[in-house]
Amino acid sequence: MKIQHIAFLLLGLASATVVKCNVEGDILYSQKKAWKDPNNVLQSWDPTLVNPCTWFHITCNNENSVIRVDLGNAGLSGGLIPELGRLTQLQYLELYANNISGSIPAQLGKLTKLVSLDLYHNQLSGPIPSSLGNIKSLKYLRLNGNGLSGIIPKKVLDLVLTGNLTEMNVSDNELFGTIRTSKKRVTTITQDAKISS
C-alpha cells in the first residue's frame, strides 16, 4: 500500500511539473501568435513539445521553468500580451531593438523575480505601468527609444531608493516629471533633458 501511495505522489508531482511547463509554453505560444515574425526566429516554438525549454531563445532552470526570453534584435512586431506576467520564474525579458508596439502590460509587475527588463528601441507607447515598482529584484530597467508618455510613476522611482535597481534608462521617450538622483545603489540614470533632475 505504501509503494502505491509513493508512486501516486511521484506521478502527481511529475504531472504538476508537466502542467506548469505546458502553461508556460501556452503563454509563450500565445505571444508568438500575437507577433509578426518575418525572419522565422520563433520557428522552434512548437506547442506540441512537452515544454518550451527546448525552444530557441528560451532558457529554463533545473525545474524546467522559463527564466529567460532572449529575443533582442529579432525583427519582431506586434504587442506584448498580459499573460507574460504569469511566467513567475522569469528573470530576464530581453526584447530590445524590435518593432514591438502598444503599451507595456501592467501584468509585467507580477514578474517578481525579474532582474532585467530590456524593452529599449521599440515602438511602445502609453505610460510606464506603476506595477513595475513591485519588482524589487529588478536591476536593469531599459525603456529608452520608445514613445512612452506621461510621468515616471513614483513607485518605479522608489526602486532607486529601496530596490536593487542599478540602471534605469528612460531617455528618448515623451516622458515628463522629475527624477532626483541619489547616492544609493543606482549607478546610471539616463533621462531626457526635459525631465529635470
Over the stretch 56-101, which tens digit does the pLDDT of each residue have? 999 999 999 999 999 999 999 999 999 999 999 999 999 999 999 9
Mean pLDDT of the chain: 87
pLDDT band at 15 (very low <50, low <70, confident <90, very high): very low
What is the fold of 2-190?
3.80.10
d(CA 22, CA 84): 14
pLDDT band at 193 (very low <50, low <70, confident <90, very high): low
What pLDDT is attached to residue 161? 81
pLDDT band at 50 (very low <50, low <70, confident <90, very high): confident
Longest pairwise C-alpha distance within the chain: 72
What are the tens digits of pLDDT across the range 169-178? 999 999 987 6
What pLDDT is attached to residue 192? 62
Which of 28, 61, 20 is closest to 47 using CA atoms?
28
**Domain extent listing, the chain:** 2-190
d(CA 52, CA 21): 7
Percentage of the chain exceeding pLDDT 90: 72
Rounded to two decimals, the pTM is 0.83
Q: What is the DSSP letter of 27?
A: H
Residue 10 pLDDT more than 50?
A: no
What pLDDT is attached to residue 180? 56
Which of 98, 61, 105, 55 is closest to 80 using CA atoms?
105
What pLDDT is attached to residue 160? 83
pLDDT band at 21 (very low <50, low <70, confident <90, very high): low
What are the tens digits of pLDDT across the range 130-150? 999 999 999 999 999 999 999
CB atoms within 10 A of CB 174: 12
Mean pLDDT of 42-58: 94
What pLDDT is attached to residue 73? 98
